[in-house]
Structure 1
Amino acid sequence: MGRRVVPLTDKKVKSLKPAGKETIASDGKGLQLRIMPNGTKSWRFVYKSPATGKRSNMTLGKYPELSIANARKIAEGHRELVALDIDPKLHKQAEKEKTEAIHQHTLFNVSQQWMEQKKSEVTEDYAKDIWRSFELHVFPSLSSQPISMITAQSVIKTLKVVEAKGSLETLKRLSQRLNEVMIYAMHSGLIEANPISNILAAFKKPQKQHMKALEPQELPELMTTLAEASIKRSTRCLIKFQLHTMTRPNEAAGAKWSEFDLDNRVWTIPSERMKKRKEHRVPLTEEVIRLLSIMDSMKVNSEYVFPSIKDPKKPMHSQTANMALKRMGFGGRLVSHGLRSIASSTLNEAGHDYFLIEASLAHLIGSDTHRAYSRTDYLERRRELMDWWSTHIVNASSTKVPLAIVA
């Protein structure tokens, strides 16, 4: 028959004095008090591990911070786990890792990880726009929320603030971006399913708005106004350059001298500066080369064709053209991105090849399969189209009468 263990009392524990070595006082049922030579007293639970079949122990806490009563409660919980063939030490470690994972994988942290991956797919400006939208509308209320605890209701509540402001397009973009983050989390094994996949059903649908642009027959008005406008010469050249090359505002404003091959009359925009992350070549017309010559004559110590006036080490802001168009009286009628629309409408009405027009606009044409087999960008065939477009612009610059569009 085993020796009967007399449970400890608070008085007994307080009376225990340290010896020259570690001593043990048992409370029974696996609960022990260790008395160290320096006087420290701590509780531990001793048990037979269901995982290994060997004796194991785990520290519970120091006395008197952990009282006898609470130490017994903890030990009882561990005994219940052992009875269920669960090693309490392994269980505690698993719970700790689970808790740490919850606090580590917050919406903010997971969004950062997703953003690092997203940067390889979009331009730097677009990546900044995505992150800024999160900072303004999502992170103030949800940044510290564990990704596993994000619910449709919590996101809807956050985005209702954006809806109340009437910013429905922003709301739509935020929903799309948050869904991408959640899908990334799902594929990373952080969540089982995406709980916000259908949240747009809870909001008003934005009215589709096309980019503000002039009609093709209004091009002479634009060119006349541009010629007479009281704006900086470099800004005037930028607007003309963007119009002639049919490029996006940030692509034109960020043009670098190193991207131009004047001998072969081609401008190669690297993939990292393109919206679709695909290198784009632009045939250079006589008028574009003339604009480059003008900017070269004004050249400062900068790698950019259109350097910022305040800091030549940076390019002109992509919104510079927009602000100039607004000052010229085109507010509400035309934005700089709409210059591409004028080109597209004009060229299509004139009967030019659709594929050449879309290639000139750096649009992706056809299905993924079609693009996989068709790698050409029709550069040589686009030279004729771009020459026609440049000539059309020059003709529009010399008349205030709407131009008839003929092929």
Structure 2
Amino acid sequence: MASVSERKNKDGSSSWLVQIRVPGAQRINRCFPNKHDALHFAHAEDEKARSAVRRKKVPSLKEFNQEPVAQTLLLYATRPQAEKHKVAIFAKIAKLVGKARQEEVDDDFCESFILKLLETKTRRGSNYAPSSAVKYLELISAACKWRAKHHRVSFKPLHVPTDCLPDDWNDGRDRRLLRREEKALSAALLSLDARKARQWRCLIRLAIETGARQSELVRANWDEFDLEQRVWNIPKGKTKAKKARWVALSRRAIRVLRLLKAEGASDLFDLGQPSTVSCAFARLTKVAGINDLHFHDLRHEAITRMFLKKKGLHAYEIMRMVGHSSLKMLHRYANLRPEDLVDRMG
């Protein structure tokens, strides 16, 4: 900030002292015989100092292009408004992009990244699904766009090369939990210690009763539940759509919640972060001898059961509780089997 002050000389005349202090720039002190020259200098030099500081803070296009994409992803994941539980996902993607730099992020990079992922093994031992590859590429694009805006440079959104993906890549999963698999999971829980087995049993049961996402269940705390009114109010900060929603709780869900409440913990579950729970569930299904079952498949099972067993529920009411914004999305999750409809036909 520039300041101009009058100073009296020994001979009685006046001089004008200009002092310019801009954080990040060198201090400037200069005297002038008249106020007009002092003000002119103060204005010009103050703006020049501030421009120099701004140029220092904003990297050049060359510096932006040389920045590793992995670094961009980690910065994006740790920005103040980022969701903390997604840091692990961005850390995983950062490893997958390797040493690629911003200047290499183009159509060829996108195609190479997808093909690489389709041949890469996950911690479950299977290859990455095409939908995961596309999702990761979209997250890379979002991070690079954010970084470019931060550096005041242009960035062309990434193009997802779907021609290198299988024709049915976007059909969506229709995997459901079979009755024999549900029993096998219960048997597999016997390999855990009693408390952890009880937590897992309650988590699986609540997933099936509520249709909630895994992260919503794992991160839930007791302040969100009204057991008397049988309502779960999920805050917007914990939902995928960033909109608060409520879930009407079945009597079976209430029994599970009362069992958990008896343990006296402030949170419902202490099984770790969502990514940790996903990996643990994969190990559990392996012990149970179940192939290709993800925790998210329980959401498919839950929504389908709402249609089949909660006969009084309207499709809109189910959409409202599970957080779907369209009937098309609800249709993807309501995976009815032929035998389900045969039974309802009587």
With over 3 angstroms needed to count, the CA separation of the structure-2 counterparts of 1:104 and 1:283, relative to structure 1, is: same
Cα distance in 1, alignment partners of residues 316 and 62 from structure 2: 51
Matching residue within 168, 180, 190 for 2:142 = 180
How many angstroms does 1:188 deviate by? 5.4
- Give the alignment partner of residue 336 of structure 1, picking from 295, 310, 324: 295
* Bigger proportion of residues as helix: 2
Figure out how many residues of one structure are paired with residues of the other and give that number.
264
CA distance in 2: counterparts of 1:182 and 1:212, whole angstroms: 33
Q: Distance in 1 between matches of 2:257 and 2:342?
A: 26
Mean Cα deviation higher: 315-324 or 354-363: 315-324
Structure 2: gaps of 5 or more residues:
1-47, 121-126, 191-196, 329-339
Q: Does residue 138 in structure 1 map to residue 77 in structure 2?
A: no
Determine whether 1:245 maps to 2:205: no
**1:74-223 pair list within 5 angstroms:** 100-102=59-61, 104-105=63-64, 106=67, 108=69, 111=73, 114-115=76-77, 119=81, 123-129=83-89, 131-142=90-101, 145=102, 149-152=103-106, 155-156=109-110, 159=113, 161-165=116-120, 167=128, 168-184=130-146, 190-192=152-154, 194=156, 197-198=158-159, 200=161, 203-205=164-166, 207-208=168-169, 210-211=172-173, 213-214=175-176, 218=178, 220-223=179-182
- Unmatched 5+ residue regions in structure 1? 1-88, 368-400
CA distance in 2, matches of 1:270, 1:328: 34
Secondary structure in 1 matching 2:343:
coil
- Mapped partners of 1:184, 1:107: distance in 2: 14
In the alignment, which of 312, 317, 320 is matched to residue 356 of structure 1? 317
Deviation sequence 1:147-195 (CA, Å, 0-9, x none) = xx4452662486254355464444322332233234445655733451x
User: Is the contact made by 1:124 and 1:272 (CA closer than 8 Å) also made in structure 2?
Assistant: no
Secondary structure of the residue that 1:141 maps to in structure 2?
Answer: coil
1:244 CA displacement:
0.8
Aligned: 1:327 with 2:287: yes
The 1:366–1:190 alpha-carbon spacing in structure 2 relative to 1, beyond 3 Å, is farther
- The percentage of aligned residue pairs carrying the same residue is 16
For the 8 Å contact 2:68–2:99, the answer to whether it is kept is no
**Which of 273, 278, 285 is the equivalent residue of 2:238?**
273
Structure 1 residues 199 and 278 mapped into 2: Cα distance closer, same or farther (>3 Å)?
closer
Asked if residue 292 in structure 1 is aligned to residue 257 in structure 2, the reply is yes
CA distance in 1, matches of 2:148, 2:94: 22
Q: In 2 relative to 1, CA 224–272 (structure 1 residues): closer, same or farther, beyond 3 Å?
A: same
Task: Tell me the CA shift for residue 315 of structure 1.
Answer: 8.7
TM-score, with length taken from structure 1: 0.52
CA distance in 2, matches of 1:186, 1:290: 51
> For 1:318, what is the secondary structure of its paired residue?
helix
Report the secondary structure of 2:91's partner residue: helix
| 2:303 is equivalent to residue 306 of structure 1 | no
Aligned position for 2:3: none
Residue deviations 1:181-227 (CA, integer Å, cap 9, x gap):
34445655733451x63352674447426336327xx4x43454455
Q: TM-score, normalised by structure 2?
A: 0.60
Shift in CA distance, 366/152, structure 1 to aligned 2, threshold 3 Å: same
Does 1:261 find its partner at 2:226? yes
Shift of 1:356: 1.3
Partner of 1:75: none
**Distance in 2 of aligned mates of 1:316 and 1:306:** 14
Paired with 1:275 and 1:224, the residues of 2 have a C-alpha distance of: 30
**What is the CA–CA distance in structure 2 between the aligned matches of 1:327 and 1:151, rounded to whole Å?**
41
Give the whole-Å Cα distance in 1 for the aligned partners of 2:118 and 2:281. 30
Q: What RMSD in Å do the two structures reach over aligned CA positions?
A: 4.2
Q: CA contact under 8 A between 1:306 and 1:316: conserved in structure 2?
A: no
TM superposition shift of 1:98: 11
